[in-house]
Amino acid sequence: MAISSTSTLVFKVQRCKPELVVPAKPTPYGYKQLSDIDDQESLRFQLPLIHFYQHNPIMEGRDPVKVLKQAIAETLVFYYPFAGRLGEGPGRKLFVECTGEGILFIEADADVTLKHFDDALHPPFPCMDELLYDVPNSNEILNCPLLLIQVTRLKCGGFTFAIRLNHTTSDGFGFVQFITAIAEMARGAPTPSVLPVWQRSLLNASDPPMFTCFHHEYNPVGDIKGTTISLNDMVHVSFFFGPSEISTIRKTLPTHLRHCSTFELLSAFVWRLRTTALQFSPKKEVRFLCVVNLRLGFNSLPSGYYGNALAFPAALTTAGKLCQNPLGYAVELIKKVKTQVTEEYVKSVADLMIIKGRPHFTAVGSYVVSDLTKIGLEEVDFGWGNPIYGGPATGGAGVIPGLKSFFISFKNKKGEKGIVVPLCLPATAMERFVVELEDVLLKAKQLLCETQNHNGTTIPSAL
């Protein structure tokens, strides 16, 4: 289950001096406001992602650095706000000044092949700081390039495409829309197949603002830096859940819950084990924040919208109830909270941002998961074919380590397609998590065997 924690792989990267890539044609100057969903404190961080590509004989003689740099310049003609700089107005309202200054781009070469990575093509990646160099003074939210891209050639003829995105400007779906446009331009398209739409005012607060829903995800329960998780000695480990593990976990649920989504199932399972491993007090409030995509089921957002269109509804309980009840308890909490996200709910979040000063979501006792398995990161083809990995470059995201994780599509050495869940926890908690995970799965398999031996007796909800 645990497929990686650290790697001994070490390699050197020779980088050219970072340069600015500007739009290939003149673009409009002006100011564009972000939405009240975009500019909340929770999204004021840099999100790193990476794609690994194999050598493709069809592309022999074509340099991925030159191809991608030109495609980026052409794509920025359509996505010209990305070539601007972020500013902050009254009430901490964010806006983009469309200056056309460009994005940061790094050309690099690494003395390593894809084979050297072996089965480590998932977070945490070895030498990630080499594959996505943190250019000094470039990673602030305001007055810095909104994107940093590094294309690194590998000795085997493959390459990596690593990108750092200012999350206030776009979410996962919007980001994929942008790099898909780069991929289309790299393959010779004159324009992106989906034209970008700004229209951030669609997710702005009412005038006057007045939130109408309960938002447990923003409850003020303490300093966001003062979580009960020690940030010392943090360990990153990725866990692979293949068809066998997912099926085993699902069959332990009561019959009426077995049709829950894989996201609901794994979210409940990992949330529960993570809470146990962190040894919270039984009376401590804990939250599960699921990232809900507002493009699904909401008629107000047009095709091509690439801003943050998401909400963080929170399932709320205590550590004692979560860990002592069967797994179905957590599944039902998550299923219920997802149904709360209506258009009224989203407008209420935007209003809350204005009224409460754009707060960070509640960090104390929280666990946030973003499902990236269906947004198309693994299908971005610059001409060399689909990546052998496309997704987050780190095991978590945000300003607080260990608070947020992802579900990532992954194929293991056996060719099994499943989901990788990267986690970041203190070392002692991670040890407990691994032990508890193995124990729970073993007991689940034993229960299934016992059930089969009793000719179809209902499986008890022991997880």
Number of domains in the chain: 2
* N-to-C CA span, the chain: 17
pLDDT in tens, 295-317: 887 767 999 999 999 999 999 99
> 123 with 395: CB under 8 angstroms?
yes
170 and 66 share one domain: yes
Question: pTM to 2 decimals?
Answer: 0.92
* Confidence class for position 7, pLDDT limits 50, 70, 90: low
The pLDDT value given to residue 350: 95
Q: Report the pLDDT averaged over residues 29-36.
A: 97
CATH number where 308 lies? 3.30.559.10
* Confidence class for position 460, pLDDT limits 50, 70, 90: very low
Domain that holds residue 80: 11-197
Q: Which residue from 425, 382, 386, 390 is spatially nearest to 410, judged by alpha carbons? A: 390
The residues near 290 (Cβ < 8 Å, ≥ 6 apart) are 263, 267, 312, 313, 315, 334, 337, 338, 368, 369
- Side-chain-side CA neighbours of 136 within 13 Å: the count stands at 1
> Is 121 a residue whose pLDDT tops 90?
no
pLDDT in tens, 340-349: 898 899 999 9
Q: Is 129 a catalytic residue?
A: no
Domain assignment of residue 2, yes or no: no
> Cβ of 313: how many Cβ atoms within 10 Å?
24
The pLDDT value given to residue 222: 55
Stretch among 38-52, 158-172, 445-459 having the lowest mean pLDDT: 445-459
**Considering just the CA atoms, what is the radius of gyration of the chain in Å?**
22
Cα distance between residue 285 and residue 280, in whole Å: 9
Q: What residue type is 136 in one-letter code?
A: P
Domain assignment of residue 462, yes or no: no
Q: Report the pLDDT averaged over residues 406-435.
A: 91
As given in the structure block, the two tokens for residue 325 are 């009840």
Query: Exactly one of 51, 122, 167, 236 is catalytic; which is it?
Result: 167
As given in the structure block, the two tokens for residue 196 are 């970008």
246 and 191 share one domain: no
Cα distance between residue 72 and residue 232, in whole Å: 39
Domain assignment of residue 79, yes or no: yes
**Would you give the DSSP letter of residue 248?**
H
> Is 109 a residue whose pLDDT tops 90?
yes
* Confidence class for position 127, pLDDT limits 50, 70, 90: confident
Q: Is 215 a catalytic residue?
A: no
Cα distance between residue 320 and residue 22, in whole Å: 54
> Is 50 a residue whose pLDDT tops 70?
yes
Q: Report the pLDDT averaged over residues 111-120.
A: 85
181 and 253 share one domain: no
Domain assignment of residue 152, yes or no: yes
> Is 461 a residue whose pLDDT tops 60?
no
Stretch among 106-115, 324-333, 393-402 having the lowest mean pLDDT: 393-402
135 and 52 share one domain: yes
Q: Report the pLDDT averaged over residues 142-148.
A: 97
Domain assignment of residue 290, yes or no: yes
> Is 463 a residue whose pLDDT tops 70?
no
Domain assignment of residue 61, yes or no: yes
Q: What residue type is 422 in one-letter code?
A: P
Find which of 18-32, 211-225, 226-240, 388-402 is predicted with most confidence, using mean pLDDT: 18-32
412 and 287 share one domain: yes
As given in the structure block, the two tokens for residue 445 are 């398999």
267 and 405 share one domain: yes
Query: Exactly one of 55, 109, 116, 381 is catalytic; which is it?
Result: 381
Domain assignment of residue 6, yes or no: no
157 and 277 share one domain: no
Domain assignment of residue 19, yes or no: yes
Cα distance between residue 26 and residue 55, in whole Å: 35
Q: Report the pLDDT averaged over residues 284-291.
A: 94
